[in-house]
Chain A
Amino acid sequence: MNTTEDTSAQIASEVRDLQHVPLAQMKTYGDVELGATLRRLMPASPDVARVAVAAFNSSI
């Protein structure tokens, strides 16, 4: 097969690097920051923010 593969670069995941974000700050993080990370583990969980659509502006 004729493919070229990149061996120098890296591939980013959807898992946010939260190792150095203090828990005291993380507790204020909403679903927005954690959603992408938790979706990797629990795609169907109601606690995980769903992938959003461009929601109608004039309602909430």
Chain B
Amino acid sequence: MEWGGASGILPFRQFVLKVHSRCDLACDHCYVYEHADQSWRGRPKMMSSDTIVRTAERIAEHVRRHDLKQILVVMHGGEPLLAGPDVLAEVATELRGRISESCDLDLRIHTNGILLDDRFCDTFAAQGITVGVSLDGDRLANDRHRRYADGRTSYPQAVRAVERLRRQPELYAGLLCTIDVANDPIAVYEALVALRPPRIDFLLPHATWDAPPPRPSATAYADWLITIFDRWEADGRPVAVRLFDSIIATTWGGASLTEAIGLEPSNLIVIETDGSYELVDSLKVVHDGAPATGHHVANESLDEVAAHPGVRARQGGLESLAAACRACPVVTSCGGGLYTHRYRAGSFDNPSVFCADLFKLIVHVREGKTVRAHALPYDAIDAIAGGFGEARDVGLLMESQQSLRRALIVAVRAKAADETAWELLTRVEEDRPEMLDAVLAHPYIRVWAIGCLEGGGGPAHLANVAAAAAVRAGLDARLQVEVVDGRVHLPTAGTLTGVPGDAATLVIENGRVRLDGQAATWHPVRHLTSGGFSVLLEDSDPYRDCHQWRPLPRLSDAEAALWQESFDQAWQLIERDFPSYATGLSAGLTTIVPLTAADSGHDVSSAARHAFGAVAAALPPDPATFALLIIHEFQHVKLGAVLDMFDLYDETDRRLFHAPWREDLRPLEGLLQGTYAHLAVTDFWRTRRHIDPEPAQSQFAHWRAQTAEAIETLAESKALTPLGERFVRRMRDSIAPWLDEEISEAAGAVRAGG
């Protein structure tokens, strides 16, 4: 959360505009007309142009003052459609015209839908307004409360409005259902889901300890919601349900999505038709005048309203809750429930009037939700930060990477046109989960998935991933796969070449791969091996082109033999002379990608942040250089994985820093990555001194001085998180004794020369 500067206020980010104060229905559960606060009687029916302009000015001023990047404005009522499309368009135009483009304005309207017609929908489409509709479920449920004043049903009109929105899904925000436990929960759920809303929410009826809800049993509301929750889970969660999603999110330490539960501070303000600021709407059930602040858009800024004690009262988090709530085992999800529901005899210092229901529901939802977070023991962080890391430590990084790849695959699935690839993946997982894991561990799956999710590519490669898993698991399958540059690449399995077009039907039978109705040549993947260690020689994956240098095209057998010989010698050297790196490498290095050599003859090597496990290089001139490149680049791989898990520095810090080995200034991450890699480079030459004194002596002298200097720059940057500071201290602990080691005079001279 962001508390605003010297004033110490929490800026508002949600604004509820009461554009019309009357309603065309007479729902007997409405908090506006049917509860204690009757202030609507004295208010203008509609927000005037003058109030609209002043309101927009106040919001724009607040956005500017607090540099807000995103706000939500909800047009509400009464029934806001009674204001007519022109007034609603005016509200949107005044807001959009005043609020800076750097702020994302999420503009919504919430309606009973009765008046919704093409004119309104055209206005909403033109103004970028999304529409939520109140609907209490099936006809029987809806008719229980949502009727016209003369008792007629409003159900057909509401459903017609929703059907209208379904034809323009970009406008359809979702459905809001107020719970009545007399209704059949499954009938309510089915009726809502049948309308295919993008999200729904179930609202507990407005009540306080002084005016408790109808309650046929001690936990009637929990039981009603649990019936729906269980069905929702069994259905595979066909729609987002805000209340359930909030309990799940808060269970895992995330934020609630609704003020109905959770510990998040409220950042919402209501502006009435006459321009008065009011506290949260639901307080209308407490007592007459309860939401009033005494402030008005004509007189007070939103900053002044934000300092109002009634606003602050809903921002206190755990500390502000009743003692029973503070001690409650589910308080991180519940947060004492909706503020209004806590009211009893002039005080909000109570648990919710729905306490028993909330407790039972949250405990039920939490059952079985045992997904834990990846963690690193501090001794593993210390070992990695020192430049090394045992197989166990790197293994922990690998495990978190595997979770990241699984999450990415799930996210990509949502973009796929059909489910064939997904179904094949789940079939492989049931049959041979270790084969699915082996394929998903391929570094360039993440590169492709991130590109797909960030709009830089399509989801078609998901089929190739699934096919590769099926081939490795020995499952038969038939599916359409992606063709890139005449090749069908199945990661970690092999490549079919000579394929025209951008898609082909792949057939996998008895472990053999062919295309349906066309010829193609199958090239299984090759490996580089040394003793018992083996890595993939990746020269075909179309997504490997993410390094600074161009990857080499598929190697000939002779070229592959050269790589094999060089790798074998390099790995033997690493195992013999650099055992403290070999153990981490053997756990985490999975893939070598051949790169095009530089024209200048300089060594070329690279690691890519999204390709954990891969090191790319042009064929080095000798085994020692190959060993150095592997050790150097794998430092980037390890640190990238740590940064995937933890913040080591403040990412908003845009300052640039001097890196001793570069002429240009570097952002903090670049300096950290470079320093961490050069820590290992220093150690490499430190060891090589005893085998090959020159140039090792000079290189050692050179790199230890530069790395030590960079470590101090990092330590003094004031941009590190506490964990980042610890990380840098460990780097310093490693290099400190090396600075005292003897070097020859000649090497010292090189160092002095810089």
* Contact (Cβ within 8 A) B338 A57: yes
* Contact (Cβ within 8 A) A29 B646: no
Closest A-chain residue to B241, C-beta based?
Answer: A30
**Chain B contacts with A in 412-457, Cβ cutoff 8 A:** 413-414, 422, 425-426, 429-430, 436-437, 446, 450, 453-454
Does B150 reach chain A (CB closer than 8 Å)? no
From B248, B402, B645, B723, give the contact of A33 (CB < 8 A).
B248
From A6, A7, A15, give the contact of B644 (CB < 8 A).
A15
Proximity string of chain B (118-142) to chain A, C-beta cutoff 8 Å, 1 when within and 0 when not: 0000000000000010000000000
Closest A-chain residue to B730, C-beta based?
Answer: A5
Contacts of A17 in B (CB 8 A): 371-374, 399-400, 403
Does B151 reach chain A (CB closer than 8 Å)? no
From A12, A26, A28, A54, give the contact of B256 (CB < 8 A).
A54
* Contact (Cβ within 8 A) B14 A55: yes
Rounded to whole Å, the gap between the CB of B370 and the closest CB of chain A is 10
* Bound CA–CA A55/B254 (angstroms): 14
* Contact (Cβ within 8 A) B411 A47: yes
* Contact (Cβ within 8 A) B407 A34: yes
Does B377 reach chain A (CB closer than 8 Å)? yes
Contacts of B260 in A (CB 8 A): 57
* Contact (Cβ within 8 A) A12 B373: yes
Does A45 reach chain B (CB closer than 8 Å)? yes
Stretch at the interface among B265-273, B552-560, B578-586: B265-273
**Chain B contacts with A in 375-414, Cβ cutoff 8 A:** 375-382, 399-400, 402-404, 406-411, 413-414
What class of interface size applies to chain A in its complex with B?
A: 35 or more
- Among B110, B249, B410, find the residue whose CB has the most chain A CB atoms closer than 10 A: B410
* Contact (Cβ within 8 A) A40 B645: yes
Main secondary structure of the interface of B (DSSP, over half): mixed
Rounded to whole Å, the gap between the CB of B733 and the closest CB of chain A is 11
Rounded to whole Å, the gap between the CB of B442 and the closest CB of chain A is 16
* Contact (Cβ within 8 A) A16 B407: yes
- Among A9, A18, A34, A54, find the residue whose CB has the most chain B CB atoms closer than 10 A: A54
* Contact (Cβ within 8 A) B242 A11: no
* Bound CA–CA A60/B53 (angstroms): 25
* Contact (Cβ within 8 A) B268 A56: yes
Does A58 reach chain B (CB closer than 8 Å)? yes
* Contact (Cβ within 8 A) A40 B259: no
- Among A5, A11, A34, find the residue whose CB has the most chain B CB atoms closer than 10 A: A11
Q: How many residues of B contact A (CB 8 A)?
A: 87
* Contact (Cβ within 8 A) A9 B377: yes
* Contact (Cβ within 8 A) A59 B132: yes
Contacts of A38 in B (CB 8 A): 404, 407-408, 411, 453
Rounded to whole Å, the gap between the CB of B369 and the closest CB of chain A is 9
Rounded to whole Å, the gap between the CB of A8 and the closest CB of chain B is 7
* Contact (Cβ within 8 A) A60 B199: yes
**Chain B contacts with A in 705-754, Cβ cutoff 8 A:** 723, 726
Closest A-chain residue to B132, C-beta based?
Answer: A60
Contacts of B265 in A (CB 8 A): 54
* Contact (Cβ within 8 A) B257 A7: no
Contacts of B610 in A (CB 8 A): 41
Contacts of B203 in A (CB 8 A): 57-58
Contacts of A14 in B (CB 8 A): 253, 373, 645
Rounded to whole Å, the gap between the CB of A57 and the closest CB of chain B is 5
* Contact (Cβ within 8 A) B376 A10: yes
From A35, A47, A55, give the contact of B72 (CB < 8 A).
A55
Rounded to whole Å, the gap between the CB of A39 and the closest CB of chain B is 10
Does B237 reach chain A (CB closer than 8 Å)? yes
Does B545 reach chain A (CB closer than 8 Å)? no
Rounded to whole Å, the gap between the CB of A60 and the closest CB of chain B is 4
Task: Decide: A37 near B407, CB < 8 A? Known: A58-B110, A59-B176.
Answer: yes
From A8, A40, A60, give the contact of B174 (CB < 8 A).
A60
* Bound CA–CA A41/B644 (angstroms): 7
Contacts of A9 in B (CB 8 A): 377-378
* Contact (Cβ within 8 A) A15 B645: yes
* Contact (Cβ within 8 A) B377 A23: no
Closest B-chain residue to A40, C-beta based?
Answer: B644
Does B13 reach chain A (CB closer than 8 Å)? yes
* Contact (Cβ within 8 A) B258 A59: no
Contacts of B176 in A (CB 8 A): 58-60
* Bound CA–CA A21/B402 (angstroms): 12
Closest A-chain residue to B428, C-beta based?
Answer: A23
* Bound CA–CA A35/B408 (angstroms): 10
Does B669 reach chain A (CB closer than 8 Å)? no
* Bound CA–CA A20/B236 (angstroms): 18
Rounded to whole Å, the gap between the CB of A40 and the closest CB of chain B is 6
* Contact (Cβ within 8 A) A54 B267: yes
Does B635 reach chain A (CB closer than 8 Å)? no
Does B201 reach chain A (CB closer than 8 Å)? yes
From B236, B377, B399, B413, give the contact of A19 (CB < 8 A).
B399
Rounded to whole Å, the gap between the CB of A58 and the closest CB of chain B is 6
- Among B174, B379, B411, B651, find the residue whose CB has the most chain A CB atoms closer than 10 A: B411
Contacts of A30 in B (CB 8 A): 237, 240, 245
Task: Decide: A55 near B453, CB < 8 A? Known: A10-B377, A15-B404.
Answer: no
Contacts of A59 in B (CB 8 A): 16, 74, 76, 108, 110, 132, 176
Does B252 reach chain A (CB closer than 8 Å)? yes
- Among A18, A21, A32, A36, find the residue whose CB has the most chain B CB atoms closer than 10 A: A32
Task: Decide: A11 near B381, CB < 8 A? Known: A55-B14, A59-B176.
Answer: yes
* Bound CA–CA A24/B423 (angstroms): 8
Contacts of A12 in B (CB 8 A): 373-375
Does B504 reach chain A (CB closer than 8 Å)? no
* Contact (Cβ within 8 A) A28 B236: yes
Does B683 reach chain A (CB closer than 8 Å)? no
Of all A-B residue pairs in the complex, the 4 with the closest CB atoms, nearest first, are A59-B110, A13-B645, A54-B264, A60-B132
Given contacts A13-B374, A59-B16, 12 further A-B contacts (CB under 8 A): A15-B404, A23-B429, A29-B237, A32-B249, A33-B248, A33-B371, A41-B450, A45-B453, A54-B256, A54-B259, A56-B268, A60-B132
21 contacts between A and B (CB under 8 A): A10-B376, A11-B375, A11-B646, A11-B723, A14-B373, A18-B402, A22-B430, A23-B410, A24-B429, A35-B249, A53-B14, A53-B72, A53-B267, A54-B255, A54-B256, A55-B257, A57-B203, A57-B282, A58-B76, A58-B203, A58-B281
